[in-house]
A and B are shown apart, each in its own frame.
Chain A
Amino acid sequence: MDINQFIENFTEQFDELEAEVLKPETKFKELDEWSSLVALSVIAMVDEEYDVTIKGDDIRNSDTVEDLFQIVKSRA
């Protein structure tokens, strides 16, 4: 699994987020654009693109994009 591709997929779940904003170390829940709807979109994206189910706790326990990437990678 490629983290750059993951970041691209992650970025697409926001309504309007510039391509360069998200980095592996970005604390995504601190972004102004983050919302419960984006969270659901990310869960759906991970389900569709990686066939991995992430739960509410996985989002809650992840601070950075890389944290979530590692969770998805470990289950892919």
Chain B
Amino acid sequence: MAYLSIQNVAIRGIAACVPPAIDENLTAPVFIEGEAERVIAQTGIERKHVLTDDILVSDLYQRAAEELIERLGWEKDSIDALCVVSLSPDYLEPPTACIMQDRLGLPESCLTLDMNQGCPGWVNGLATLSSLLSNGSILRGILLNGDASTLLSSSQDKECRPLFGDAGIATAIEYVAGAPEMQFEFGTRGKDFKAIWREAGGLRAPITEESLQMKTYGEHVVRRDIDCVMDGMSVFAFGISVAPKSVKSLCEHFSIDLEKTDKFLMHQANQYMNSKIRKKLKVPEEKAPMCLKDYGNTSSASIPLTMVTQCHEEYEERRLDNVACAFGVGLAWGSVHFVTDHIVCPEVIIY
């Protein structure tokens, strides 16, 4: 079983940056009369911040990281590791983390690492980077994550457009002797990878003239082979089944009393799915902050974006005991139990 506990590593801060452009679901041109209202009621998503052609998700990372490093007062030379978790690289080669090392002015002695992960990415990235830090040689690391989901899916696809928003996150992690243990549970169901995927663009199905053509699969379901496809029903079935099981396994394995934790942070998929998951775990609504309404589903950014947009003051002023659960692209999932103690958590940055 993929359980993992990590000692002597603490989250020191989280910053989030979103693009300024907003896409309103009520007026999105993919709905028939009355459909927008129904979709908003079901998904809980009213609008999303979306990237436009002149901003990359790495620009959001940069703004978030610069703010975070400045607020922490960290010398750039003290940062030994940089990890980028994303499905939206600047280039297919090299890893975005290498480029970000330079853009952030980090030392050449910095370890860089890209992880190709979607929705579960913040949890996977946190586990990976924290593991590297836990032996005490690498003392400070920055985790950058988030996607350009709106550019990777078709704006004419009503199964994607109402859901996805864009955001970039920076999380600061530090070696701290005696820090409360971080505890994780992970899993993967690769056989269902086609529930959320982009068929063309990799080596198995290279980009061709055909894969760039818009194809119609139904009314307002128009996309290219290079665009993201989501089988909403299968993702829903996966989420409501796997997420509660993962959280229960985590809590049983590490003897965590979910009732005594302060925050239950879920990947922000959609309102209907998230409330099913929350109710299955008997978590009261007030302990499970949500940011779907104004930001949509922001892939791996959704958990830290929820922390920043919904409770940044609480994270700065208090010690909080958190359980988070992320699930999606892969299909894969990860749950984590972690403590934050007066972290740096500035208000969300609009790029």
Binding site for B on A (CB under 8 A): 35-37, 39-40, 43-44, 47, 53-57, 59
Contact B276 A57 (CB under 8 A): no
B234: chain A residues within 8 A (beta carbon): 55-57
- Knowing A37-B38, A44-B276 are in contact, say whether A55-B233 is a contact too (CB < 8 A): yes
B233: chain A residues within 8 A (beta carbon): 36, 39-40, 43, 55-56, 59
Contact A47 B240 (CB under 8 A): yes
Most chain A C-beta atoms within 10 Å of own C-beta, residue among B42, B233, B238:
B233
Contacts A40-B272, A57-B234 aside, 12 further interface pairs with beta carbons under 8 A come to A40-B233, A43-B233, A44-B236, A44-B240, A47-B241, A53-B237, A53-B241, A55-B192, A55-B237, A56-B195, A56-B232, A56-B234
**Residue B210 lies at the interface, judged by CB distance under 8 Å to chain A:** no
Q: How large is the interface on B (under 10, 10 to 19, 20 to 34, 35 or more residues)?
A: 10 to 19
B236: chain A residues within 8 A (beta carbon): 40, 43-44
Contact A36 B232 (CB under 8 A): yes
**Residue B231 lies at the interface, judged by CB distance under 8 Å to chain A:** yes
What 9 pairs across the A-B complex have the smallest Cβ distances? A56-B233, A56-B234, A55-B234, A56-B231, A43-B237, A53-B241, A53-B237, A40-B236, A37-B42
Secondary structure of the B contact surface, majority rule: helix
Contact A47 B237 (CB under 8 A): yes
A56: chain B residues within 8 A (beta carbon): 195, 231-234, 237
Closest A residue to B236 by CB, please name it.
A40
A43: chain B residues within 8 A (beta carbon): 233, 236-237, 240
What's the least CB distance linking B133 to chain A, in Å?
Answer: 37
What's the least CB distance linking A51 to chain B, in Å?
Answer: 9
What's the least CB distance linking B119 to chain A, in Å?
Answer: 17
What's the least CB distance linking A44 to chain B, in Å?
Answer: 6
Closest A residue to B280 by CB, please name it.
A48
B240: chain A residues within 8 A (beta carbon): 43-44, 47
What's the least CB distance linking B229 to chain A, in Å?
Answer: 11
Most chain A C-beta atoms within 10 Å of own C-beta, residue among B231, B234, B238:
B234
A40: chain B residues within 8 A (beta carbon): 42, 232-233, 236, 272-273
B231: chain A residues within 8 A (beta carbon): 55-57
A40 to B271, CA, bound (A): 12
Give the contacts of B271-316 with A (CB-CB under 8 A): 272-273, 276
A36: chain B residues within 8 A (beta carbon): 232-233
A44: chain B residues within 8 A (beta carbon): 236, 240, 276
- 6 A-B pairs with CB atoms under 8 Å apart are A40-B42, A40-B232, A40-B236, A43-B233, A47-B240, A56-B232
A43 to B234, CA, bound (A): 9
A43 to B273, CA, bound (A): 11
What's the least CB distance linking B188 to chain A, in Å?
Answer: 16
Give the contacts of B233-252 with A (CB-CB under 8 A): 233-234, 236-238, 240-241
A36 to B219, CA, bound (A): 14
Most chain A C-beta atoms within 10 Å of own C-beta, residue among B236, B240, B272, B273:
B236
What's the least CB distance linking B74 to chain A, in Å?
Answer: 45
What's the least CB distance linking B243 to chain A, in Å?
Answer: 11
Closest A residue to B238 by CB, please name it.
A53
Closest A residue to B38 by CB, please name it.
A37
